[in-house]
Protein backbone atom coordinates (compact mmCIF):
# COMPACT_ATOMS: atom_id res chain seq x y z
CA UNK A 1 0.00 0.00 0.00
CA UNK A 2 1.38 3.38 -1.02
CA UNK A 3 1.96 5.98 1.68
CA UNK A 4 1.36 9.68 1.10
CA UNK A 5 4.59 11.57 0.41
CA UNK A 6 4.97 15.32 0.84
CA UNK A 7 7.82 17.38 -0.58
CA UNK A 8 8.78 21.06 -0.82
CA UNK A 9 8.19 22.42 -4.32
CA UNK A 10 10.52 25.29 -5.22
CA UNK A 11 8.10 26.41 -7.91
CA UNK A 12 5.05 26.45 -5.59
CA UNK A 13 7.14 27.66 -2.62
CA UNK A 14 5.40 25.28 -0.23
CA UNK A 15 5.29 21.65 0.88
CA UNK A 16 2.86 19.73 -1.30
CA UNK A 17 1.44 16.24 -1.53
CA UNK A 18 3.33 14.32 -4.18
CA UNK A 19 0.84 13.28 -6.85
CA UNK A 20 2.62 11.21 -9.52
CA UNK A 21 1.64 11.39 -13.15
CA UNK A 22 1.18 7.61 -13.14
CA UNK A 23 -0.12 5.92 -10.00
CA UNK A 24 2.58 4.12 -8.08
CA UNK A 25 5.40 5.28 -10.36
CA UNK A 26 7.77 8.22 -10.01
CA UNK A 27 10.03 9.58 -12.74
CA UNK A 28 12.93 11.71 -11.55
CA UNK A 29 15.71 13.65 -13.25
CA UNK A 30 18.80 14.74 -11.33
CA UNK A 31 21.25 17.33 -12.57
CA UNK A 32 24.48 15.36 -12.41
CA UNK A 33 28.15 16.31 -12.20
CA UNK A 34 30.15 18.48 -14.55
CA UNK A 35 33.12 16.19 -14.95
CA UNK A 36 36.08 18.53 -15.27
CA UNK A 37 37.25 18.32 -11.63
CA UNK A 38 36.79 16.02 -8.64
CA UNK A 39 33.49 16.30 -6.78
CA UNK A 40 33.71 17.61 -3.22
CA UNK A 41 31.46 16.93 -0.25
CA UNK A 42 29.44 20.07 -0.99
CA UNK A 43 28.55 18.69 -4.42
CA UNK A 44 27.83 15.29 -2.94
CA UNK A 45 25.38 16.64 -0.37
CA UNK A 46 23.18 17.66 -3.31
CA UNK A 47 23.37 14.20 -4.85
CA UNK A 48 22.57 12.67 -1.46
CA UNK A 49 19.25 14.52 -1.57
CA UNK A 50 18.27 12.72 -4.77
CA UNK A 51 19.46 9.39 -3.39
CA UNK A 52 17.55 9.65 -0.11
CA UNK A 53 14.43 10.87 -1.91
CA UNK A 54 14.53 7.90 -4.27
CA UNK A 55 15.18 5.48 -1.39
CA UNK A 56 12.30 6.96 0.65
CA UNK A 57 9.90 6.74 -2.28
CA UNK A 58 10.80 3.11 -2.89
CA UNK A 59 10.55 2.38 0.84
CA UNK A 60 6.91 3.50 0.94
CA UNK A 61 6.01 1.56 -2.18
CA UNK A 62 6.73 3.61 -5.29
CA UNK A 63 8.46 2.35 -8.39
CA UNK A 64 11.09 5.01 -9.16
CA UNK A 65 13.01 5.60 -12.39
CA UNK A 66 15.91 8.05 -12.04
CA UNK A 67 18.04 9.65 -14.73
CA UNK A 68 21.23 11.58 -13.88
CA UNK A 69 23.10 13.35 -16.65
CA UNK A 70 26.85 13.68 -17.05
CA UNK A 71 27.83 17.16 -18.28
CA UNK A 72 30.97 16.66 -20.35
CA UNK A 73 30.68 19.74 -22.60
CA UNK A 74 29.21 23.20 -22.63
CA UNK A 75 29.50 24.31 -19.00
CA UNK A 76 30.71 27.92 -19.17
CA UNK A 77 32.84 29.80 -16.65
CA UNK A 78 30.31 32.64 -16.88
CA UNK A 79 26.89 31.88 -18.35
CA UNK A 80 26.14 35.57 -18.93
CA UNK A 81 29.15 36.23 -21.15
CA UNK A 82 29.68 35.08 -24.72
CA UNK A 83 33.44 35.25 -24.17
CA UNK A 84 33.26 32.63 -21.41
CA UNK A 85 35.41 29.52 -21.61
CA UNK A 86 34.18 25.94 -21.30
CA UNK A 87 35.46 24.48 -18.02
CA UNK A 88 36.13 21.16 -19.76
CA UNK A 89 38.61 22.91 -22.04
CA UNK A 90 40.33 24.64 -19.14
CA UNK A 91 40.81 21.27 -17.44
CA UNK A 92 42.07 19.77 -20.69
CA UNK A 93 44.71 22.48 -21.00
CA UNK A 94 45.72 22.14 -17.33
CA UNK A 95 46.20 18.37 -17.43
CA UNK A 96 47.33 17.78 -21.00
CA UNK A 97 44.50 15.32 -21.68
CA UNK A 98 41.87 15.33 -24.41
CA UNK A 99 38.44 16.61 -23.25
CA UNK A 100 36.84 13.16 -23.37
CA UNK A 101 39.75 11.74 -21.37
CA UNK A 102 39.14 14.44 -18.77
CA UNK A 103 35.46 13.50 -18.71
CA UNK A 104 36.17 9.78 -18.33
CA UNK A 105 38.67 10.39 -15.51
CA UNK A 106 36.37 12.51 -13.41
CA UNK A 107 33.23 10.50 -14.17
CA UNK A 108 34.94 7.42 -12.77
CA UNK A 109 36.04 9.37 -9.69
CA UNK A 110 32.51 10.70 -9.19
CA UNK A 111 31.03 7.20 -9.29
CA UNK A 112 33.64 5.94 -6.79
CA UNK A 113 33.03 8.81 -4.38
CA UNK A 114 29.24 8.49 -4.70
CA UNK A 115 29.40 4.78 -3.99
CA UNK A 116 31.57 5.43 -0.93
CA UNK A 117 28.81 7.52 0.66
CA UNK A 118 26.04 5.09 -0.25
CA UNK A 119 24.56 6.80 -3.30
CA UNK A 120 22.89 4.15 -5.41
CA UNK A 121 23.47 4.47 -9.18
CA UNK A 122 20.80 6.10 -11.33
CA UNK A 123 18.97 3.95 -13.85
CA UNK A 124 20.50 5.98 -16.68
CA UNK A 125 23.62 8.16 -16.91
CA UNK A 126 23.29 9.95 -20.27
CA UNK A 127 26.32 11.96 -21.38
CA UNK A 128 25.89 15.33 -23.02
CA UNK A 129 28.32 14.48 -25.83
CA UNK A 130 26.19 11.47 -26.78
CA UNK A 131 23.05 13.57 -27.20
CA UNK A 132 24.02 16.49 -29.40
CA UNK A 133 21.50 15.43 -32.12
CA UNK A 134 18.66 15.71 -29.57
CA UNK A 135 19.92 19.14 -28.52
CA UNK A 136 20.03 20.31 -32.13
CA UNK A 137 16.51 19.01 -32.72
CA UNK A 138 15.17 20.81 -29.64
CA UNK A 139 16.98 24.02 -30.58
CA UNK A 140 15.53 23.91 -34.12
CA UNK A 141 12.05 23.38 -32.68
CA UNK A 142 12.39 26.40 -30.41
CA UNK A 143 13.47 28.51 -33.39
CA UNK A 144 10.48 27.26 -35.37
CA UNK A 145 8.10 28.13 -32.53
CA UNK A 146 9.50 31.66 -32.21
CA UNK A 147 11.15 31.12 -28.82
CA UNK A 148 14.68 31.29 -30.23
CA UNK A 149 16.57 33.05 -32.99
CA UNK A 150 19.86 32.46 -34.84
CA UNK A 151 22.42 35.26 -34.87
CA UNK A 152 26.10 35.28 -35.77
CA UNK A 153 26.42 31.51 -35.93
CA UNK A 154 24.83 31.05 -32.49
CA UNK A 155 21.22 30.52 -31.39
CA UNK A 156 19.67 32.44 -28.50
CA UNK A 157 16.53 31.89 -26.47
CA UNK A 158 14.30 34.96 -26.43
CA UNK A 159 13.21 35.10 -22.78
CA UNK A 160 10.50 37.67 -23.57
CA UNK A 161 8.73 35.00 -25.65
CA UNK A 162 8.00 32.83 -22.60
CA UNK A 163 5.36 34.23 -20.25
CA UNK A 164 6.43 32.16 -17.26
CA UNK A 165 10.09 33.15 -17.31
CA UNK A 166 11.27 33.90 -13.76
CA UNK A 167 8.55 31.90 -11.98
CA UNK A 168 10.96 29.39 -10.43
CA UNK A 169 13.58 31.84 -9.15
CA UNK A 170 11.35 34.85 -8.56
CA UNK A 171 13.32 36.93 -11.05
CA UNK A 172 11.44 39.25 -13.38
CA UNK A 173 12.54 40.42 -16.79
CA UNK A 174 12.68 43.99 -15.50
CA UNK A 175 15.05 42.94 -12.73
CA UNK A 176 17.16 40.97 -15.17
CA UNK A 177 17.39 43.94 -17.51
CA UNK A 178 18.39 46.28 -14.69
CA UNK A 179 21.12 43.83 -13.74
CA UNK A 180 22.71 44.06 -17.18
CA UNK A 181 24.46 47.43 -17.27
CA UNK A 182 26.27 46.67 -20.50
CA UNK A 183 23.54 45.92 -23.04
CA UNK A 184 26.19 45.74 -25.77
CA UNK A 185 28.08 42.88 -24.16
CA UNK A 186 26.83 40.66 -27.01
CA UNK A 187 25.51 42.60 -30.01
CA UNK A 188 23.90 39.44 -31.40
CA UNK A 189 21.34 39.27 -28.59
CA UNK A 190 17.96 40.92 -28.82
CA UNK A 191 17.77 41.24 -25.04
CA UNK A 192 20.52 41.22 -22.46
CA UNK A 193 18.78 38.41 -20.55
CA UNK A 194 18.61 36.06 -23.55
CA UNK A 195 20.74 32.94 -23.22
CA UNK A 196 22.53 30.65 -25.64
CA UNK A 197 21.11 27.37 -26.88
CA UNK A 198 23.92 26.87 -29.39
CA UNK A 199 27.28 28.64 -29.51
CA UNK A 200 29.43 29.36 -32.50
CA UNK A 201 32.79 27.58 -32.30
CA UNK A 202 35.91 29.68 -32.51
CA UNK A 203 38.97 28.60 -34.52
CA UNK A 204 40.68 26.94 -31.54
CA UNK A 205 37.63 25.14 -30.21
CA UNK A 206 38.35 21.41 -29.67
CA UNK A 207 34.83 20.10 -29.04
CA UNK A 208 32.48 21.19 -31.81
CA UNK A 209 29.75 19.76 -33.99
CA UNK A 210 28.09 20.58 -37.30
CA UNK A 211 24.70 22.29 -37.10
CA UNK A 212 22.28 24.20 -39.37
CA UNK A 213 23.89 27.38 -38.01
CA UNK A 214 27.50 26.33 -38.55
CA UNK A 215 30.04 24.53 -36.40
CA UNK A 216 29.47 25.00 -32.70
CA UNK A 217 28.59 23.40 -29.40
CA UNK A 218 25.55 23.28 -27.10
CA UNK A 219 24.79 25.68 -24.31
CA UNK A 220 24.72 24.22 -20.82
CA UNK A 221 20.95 24.49 -20.25
CA UNK A 222 19.78 22.82 -23.47
CA UNK A 223 21.53 19.61 -22.47
CA UNK A 224 19.26 18.84 -19.52
CA UNK A 225 16.08 19.74 -21.39
CA UNK A 226 16.99 17.43 -24.27
CA UNK A 227 18.15 14.50 -22.15
CA UNK A 228 15.43 14.66 -19.49
CA UNK A 229 12.65 14.61 -22.09
CA UNK A 230 14.34 11.90 -24.15
CA UNK A 231 14.53 9.48 -21.21
CA UNK A 232 11.50 10.51 -19.14
CA UNK A 233 9.11 11.99 -21.69
CA UNK A 234 7.35 15.32 -22.04
CA UNK A 235 5.91 15.04 -18.52
CA UNK A 236 7.82 13.73 -15.53
CA UNK A 237 7.44 14.02 -11.78
CA UNK A 238 10.55 15.36 -10.04
CA UNK A 239 13.65 17.35 -10.99
CA UNK A 240 16.36 17.68 -8.33
CA UNK A 241 19.48 19.82 -7.99
CA UNK A 242 21.29 22.27 -5.73
CA UNK A 243 19.95 25.70 -4.78
CA UNK A 244 22.66 27.24 -6.94
CA UNK A 245 20.98 25.77 -10.04
CA UNK A 246 17.61 27.47 -9.54
CA UNK A 247 18.85 30.41 -11.62
CA UNK A 248 19.80 30.46 -14.37
CA UNK A 249 20.03 26.73 -15.11
CA UNK A 250 16.65 25.43 -14.02
CA UNK A 251 14.84 28.64 -14.91
CA UNK A 252 16.20 28.28 -18.44
CA UNK A 253 15.32 24.58 -18.52
CA UNK A 254 11.69 25.44 -17.83
CA UNK A 255 11.67 28.03 -20.60
CA UNK A 256 13.18 25.56 -23.08
CA UNK A 257 11.22 22.43 -22.18
CA UNK A 258 7.82 23.99 -21.51
CA UNK A 259 8.24 26.35 -24.44
CA UNK A 260 8.97 23.48 -26.81
CA UNK A 261 6.04 21.23 -25.85
CA UNK A 262 3.49 23.86 -24.83
CA UNK A 263 2.82 22.60 -21.31
CA UNK A 264 4.49 22.11 -17.93
CA UNK A 265 7.05 19.28 -18.13
CA UNK A 266 8.24 18.96 -14.50
CA UNK A 267 5.68 18.60 -11.71
CA UNK A 268 8.01 19.20 -8.72
CA UNK A 269 11.33 21.04 -8.56
CA UNK A 270 13.28 19.95 -5.46
CA UNK A 271 16.49 21.71 -4.40
CA UNK A 272 19.10 21.08 -1.73
CA UNK A 273 20.94 23.61 0.42
CA UNK A 274 24.63 24.45 0.38
CA UNK A 275 27.30 22.97 2.61
CA UNK A 276 29.50 25.53 4.40
CA UNK A 277 32.91 25.21 6.02
CA UNK A 278 33.93 27.94 8.45
CA UNK A 279 31.00 30.04 7.28
CA UNK A 280 31.96 29.85 3.62
CA UNK A 281 30.28 27.75 0.95
CA UNK A 282 32.33 24.68 0.03
CA UNK A 283 33.17 25.24 -3.62
CA UNK A 284 36.02 24.86 -6.08
CA UNK A 285 36.04 28.62 -6.56
CA UNK A 286 36.75 29.28 -2.86
CA UNK A 287 39.39 26.58 -2.55
CA UNK A 288 37.96 25.14 0.68
CA UNK A 289 37.37 21.75 -0.91
CA UNK A 290 37.09 18.49 1.04
CA UNK A 291 36.84 15.24 -0.90
CA UNK A 292 35.59 11.83 0.18
CA UNK A 293 39.09 10.26 0.07
CA UNK A 294 40.21 12.88 2.60
CA UNK A 295 37.50 11.70 5.00
CA UNK A 296 38.74 8.13 4.66
CA UNK A 297 42.35 9.31 4.98
CA UNK A 298 41.51 10.86 8.35
CA UNK A 299 40.07 7.56 9.57
CA UNK A 300 36.38 8.30 9.06
CA UNK A 301 33.95 5.94 7.39
CA UNK A 302 32.62 7.94 4.38
CA UNK A 303 29.11 6.71 5.23
CA UNK A 304 29.40 8.70 8.45
CA UNK A 305 29.38 11.87 6.32
CA UNK A 306 26.09 10.64 4.88
CA UNK A 307 24.73 10.25 8.43
CA UNK A 308 26.03 13.71 9.35
CA UNK A 309 23.99 15.33 6.57
CA UNK A 310 20.80 13.81 8.00
CA UNK A 311 21.05 16.10 11.02
CA UNK A 312 20.16 19.16 8.91
CA UNK A 313 17.03 19.48 6.76
CA UNK A 314 18.00 18.90 3.12
CA UNK A 315 16.89 22.32 1.87
CA UNK A 316 18.68 24.25 4.61
CA UNK A 317 22.25 25.48 4.61
CA UNK A 318 24.49 23.12 6.59
CA UNK A 319 27.76 23.82 8.41
CA UNK A 320 30.45 21.15 8.25
CA UNK A 321 32.92 20.84 11.14
CA UNK A 322 35.44 18.14 11.90
CA UNK A 323 34.05 17.84 15.44
CA UNK A 324 30.61 17.09 14.01
CA UNK A 325 32.18 14.59 11.64
CA UNK A 326 33.89 12.84 14.54
CA UNK A 327 30.63 12.63 16.48
CA UNK A 328 28.75 11.24 13.46
CA UNK A 329 31.42 8.64 12.83
CA UNK A 330 31.27 7.50 16.44
CA UNK A 331 27.47 7.27 16.34
CA UNK A 332 27.43 5.15 13.18
CA UNK A 333 30.04 2.74 14.51
CA UNK A 334 28.23 2.48 17.85
CA UNK A 335 24.93 1.67 16.14
CA UNK A 336 26.58 -1.02 14.01
CA UNK A 337 27.94 -2.68 17.13
CA UNK A 338 24.55 -2.58 18.79
CA UNK A 339 23.01 -4.12 15.69
CA UNK A 340 25.52 -6.97 15.91
CA UNK A 341 24.44 -7.57 19.52
CA UNK A 342 20.72 -7.32 18.71
CA UNK A 343 21.12 -9.76 15.82
CA UNK A 344 21.72 -12.54 18.36
CA UNK A 345 18.24 -12.14 19.83
CA UNK A 346 15.21 -14.14 18.73
CA UNK A 347 13.02 -12.25 16.28
CA UNK A 348 9.27 -12.56 15.99
CA UNK A 349 7.24 -12.57 12.79
CA UNK A 350 5.60 -9.25 13.63
CA UNK A 351 6.55 -6.12 15.56
CA UNK A 352 5.23 -5.40 19.02
CA UNK A 353 2.83 -2.47 19.44
CA UNK A 354 5.60 -0.28 20.88
CA UNK A 355 7.94 -1.12 18.01
CA UNK A 356 5.17 -0.46 15.48
CA UNK A 357 4.72 3.01 16.98
CA UNK A 358 8.41 3.78 16.46
CA UNK A 359 8.14 2.49 12.90
CA UNK A 360 5.16 4.76 12.21
CA UNK A 361 7.05 7.77 13.54
CA UNK A 362 10.04 7.02 11.30
CA UNK A 363 7.80 6.65 8.24
CA UNK A 364 6.00 9.89 9.05
CA UNK A 365 9.34 11.71 9.28
CA UNK A 366 10.62 10.58 5.90
CA UNK A 367 7.31 11.16 4.13
CA UNK A 368 6.89 14.65 5.58
CA UNK A 369 9.30 16.49 3.28
CA UNK A 370 12.20 14.14 4.06
CA UNK A 371 12.50 15.20 7.68
CA UNK A 372 15.72 13.26 8.28
CA UNK A 373 16.53 15.10 11.54
CA UNK A 374 13.26 13.75 12.98
CA UNK A 375 14.01 10.29 11.59
CA UNK A 376 17.42 10.32 13.28
CA UNK A 377 15.75 11.19 16.60
CA UNK A 378 13.58 8.07 16.28
CA UNK A 379 16.63 6.00 15.35
CA UNK A 380 18.47 7.18 18.45
CA UNK A 381 15.50 6.28 20.69
CA UNK A 382 15.58 2.63 19.67
CA UNK A 383 18.41 1.57 22.01
CA UNK A 384 16.52 2.64 25.13
CA UNK A 385 13.06 1.69 23.87
CA UNK A 386 11.06 -0.91 25.92
CA UNK A 387 11.04 -3.41 23.07
CA UNK A 388 12.88 -6.66 22.44
CA UNK A 389 16.34 -6.75 20.91
CA UNK A 390 14.84 -8.68 18.03
CA UNK A 391 12.40 -5.84 17.31
CA UNK A 392 15.23 -3.31 17.61
CA UNK A 393 17.21 -5.17 14.98
CA UNK A 394 14.21 -5.55 12.67
CA UNK A 395 13.34 -1.84 12.90
CA UNK A 396 16.82 -0.49 12.26
CA UNK A 397 17.53 -2.99 9.48
CA UNK A 398 14.32 -1.90 7.77
CA UNK A 399 15.03 1.84 8.17
CA UNK A 400 18.52 1.47 6.78
CA UNK A 401 16.96 0.93 3.35
CA UNK A 402 16.37 4.71 3.49
CA UNK A 403 19.32 5.79 5.62
CA UNK A 404 21.83 3.74 3.62
CA UNK A 405 24.50 3.77 6.35
CA UNK A 406 25.13 -0.01 6.31
CA UNK A 407 24.05 -0.47 9.91
CA UNK A 408 24.02 -4.27 9.56
CA UNK A 409 27.71 -4.35 8.65
CA UNK A 410 29.02 -5.77 11.92
CA UNK A 411 26.18 -8.27 12.18
CA UNK A 412 26.75 -9.34 8.59
CA UNK A 413 30.47 -9.74 9.09
CA UNK A 414 29.76 -12.02 12.03
CA UNK A 415 27.90 -14.36 9.69
CA UNK A 416 27.67 -14.17 5.89
CA UNK A 417 25.30 -16.71 4.27
CA UNK A 418 26.77 -18.50 1.27
CA UNK A 419 25.01 -18.73 -2.10
CA UNK A 420 23.28 -22.00 -1.19
CA UNK A 421 21.80 -20.49 1.98
CA UNK A 422 20.75 -17.30 0.20
CA UNK A 423 18.94 -19.37 -2.42
CA UNK A 424 17.08 -21.30 0.28
CA UNK A 425 16.10 -18.05 2.03
CA UNK A 426 14.67 -16.64 -1.18
CA UNK A 427 12.85 -19.90 -1.92
CA UNK A 428 11.35 -19.96 1.58
CA UNK A 429 10.16 -16.34 1.35
CA UNK A 430 8.47 -17.11 -1.97
CA UNK A 431 6.81 -20.18 -0.45
CA UNK A 432 5.52 -18.16 2.51
CA UNK A 433 4.22 -15.47 0.18
CA UNK A 434 2.35 -18.18 -1.77
CA UNK A 435 1.08 -19.65 1.57
CA UNK A 436 2.81 -22.92 0.78
CA UNK A 437 3.59 -23.57 4.42
CA UNK A 438 4.52 -27.20 3.92
CA UNK A 439 7.36 -26.18 1.60
CA UNK A 440 8.30 -23.36 3.95
CA UNK A 441 8.62 -25.80 6.85
CA UNK A 442 10.67 -28.21 4.74
CA UNK A 443 13.17 -25.43 3.93
CA UNK A 444 13.26 -24.41 7.60
CA UNK A 445 14.19 -27.98 8.53
CA UNK A 446 16.91 -28.04 5.85
CA UNK A 447 18.41 -24.82 7.22
CA UNK A 448 18.25 -26.19 10.75
CA UNK A 449 20.15 -29.28 9.65
CA UNK A 450 22.88 -26.92 8.42
CA UNK A 451 23.26 -25.60 11.98
CA UNK A 452 21.28 -22.40 11.40
CA UNK A 453 18.55 -20.80 13.51
CA UNK A 454 15.70 -19.55 11.33
CA UNK A 455 13.95 -16.27 12.21
CA UNK A 456 10.79 -14.93 10.57
CA UNK A 457 10.96 -11.12 10.47
CA UNK A 458 9.01 -8.33 8.75
CA UNK A 459 11.96 -8.10 6.35
CA UNK A 460 11.78 -11.82 5.47
CA UNK A 461 13.60 -14.94 6.60
CA UNK A 462 16.85 -14.39 8.47
CA UNK A 463 19.31 -16.96 9.74
CA UNK A 464 22.23 -17.07 12.13
CA UNK A 465 24.46 -19.86 13.41
CA UNK A 466 22.80 -21.74 16.25
CA UNK A 467 24.65 -21.00 19.47
- Residue 83 predicted with pLDDT over 60: no
d(CA 111, CA 293): 13
> Which pLDDT score is estimated for 80?
43
Quick check: 297 and 267 in contact, CB under 8 A? Answer: no
Structure confidence at residue 454 as a pLDDT band (50, 70, 90): confident
End-to-end Cα, the chain, rounded Å: 38
pLDDT value at 77 more than 60:
no
Residue 185's pLDDT is 62
CB atoms within 10 A of CB 345: 15
pLDDT tens readout for residues 369-400:
999 999 999 999 999 999 999 999 999 999 99
Region 455-465 average pLDDT? 76
Model confidence pLDDT, tens digit, residues 21-55: 999 999 999 999 999 889 999 999 999 999 999 99
Question: Could you give the CA distance from residue 273 to residue 399 in angstroms, rounded to a whole number?
Answer: 24
d(CA 263, CA 241): 22
Computed over every residue of the chain, the mean pLDDT equals: 90
pLDDT digits (tens, 9 = 90+) for 285-338: 666 789 999 999 999 999 999 999 999 999 999 999 999 999 999 999 999 999
Lowest average pLDDT, out of 90-104, 207-221, 260-274, goes to 90-104
Give me the pLDDT at residue 174, please. 73
Do 148 and 155 touch, CB atoms closer than 8 A? Answer: yes
Across 2-28, average pLDDT: 95
- Residue-wise pLDDT for 266-289, tens only, equals 999 999 999 998 777 777 666 678
Distances (CA, A) of 192 to 176, 177, 267: 8, 6, 29
Predicted model pTM: 0.86
Q: What are phi and psi of 427, to 5 degrees?
A: -65, -40
Burial of 243 per CB tally in 10 Å (0-12, 13-18, 19+): middle
Q: What is the pLDDT of residue 78?
A: 45
Helices (H), 251-408: 251-261, 292-297, 302-309, 322-342, 353-367, 372-381, 389-403
Q: Which residues pair with 270 in a beta bridge?
A: 240
**Using CA atoms, how far apart are residues 4 and 294, in angstroms rounded to an integer?**
39
Query: Which pLDDT score is estimated for 181?
Result: 38
What's the pLDDT tens digit per position in 129-180? 999 999 999 999 999 999 999 999 999 999 999 998 999 999 877 776 544 4
The pLDDT of residue 330 is 97
Backbone angles phi, psi at 236, to 5 degrees: -145, 165
Q: What are the structural domains, with CATH classification, of the chain?
A: 6-272 (3.40.50.620), 277-414 (no CATH), 419-465 (no CATH)
Say yes or no to pLDDT of 210 above 80.
yes
In which band, very low, low, confident or very high, does the pLDDT at 186 lie, cut at 50, 70 and 90?
confident
Establish whether the linkage from the previous residue to 248 is cis, with ω within 30° of 0.
yes
Compare 342 and 463 and report the one with higher pLDDT: 342
CA distance 184 to 176: 15
pLDDT in tens, 394-427: 999 999 999 999 999 998 877 778 889 899 999 9
Evaluate if residue 182 carries a pLDDT over 60. Answer: no
What gap in Å lies between CA 322 and CA 278, rounded to an integer? 10
- pLDDT tens figures, 99-132: 888 899 999 999 999 999 999 999 999 999 999 9
Going by pLDDT thresholds of 50, 70 and 90, the confidence category of residue 8 is very high
- CA 465 to chain CA centroid, Å, is 38
Amino acid sequence: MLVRMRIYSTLARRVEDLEPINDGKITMYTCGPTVYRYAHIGNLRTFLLADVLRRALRYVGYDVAQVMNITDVGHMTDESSETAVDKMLLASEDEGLAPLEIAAKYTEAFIEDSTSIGIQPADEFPKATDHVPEMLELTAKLVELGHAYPAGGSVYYDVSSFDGYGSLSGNTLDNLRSGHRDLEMDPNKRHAADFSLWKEAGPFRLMKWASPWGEGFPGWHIECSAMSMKYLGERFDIHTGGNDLVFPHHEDEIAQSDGAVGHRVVSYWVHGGHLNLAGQKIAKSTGNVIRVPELAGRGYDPLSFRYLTFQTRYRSMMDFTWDAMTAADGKVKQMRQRMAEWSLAAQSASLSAEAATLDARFRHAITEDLDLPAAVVVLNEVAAAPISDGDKYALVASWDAVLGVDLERNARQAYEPDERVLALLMERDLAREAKDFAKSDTIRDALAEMGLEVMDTPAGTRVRPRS
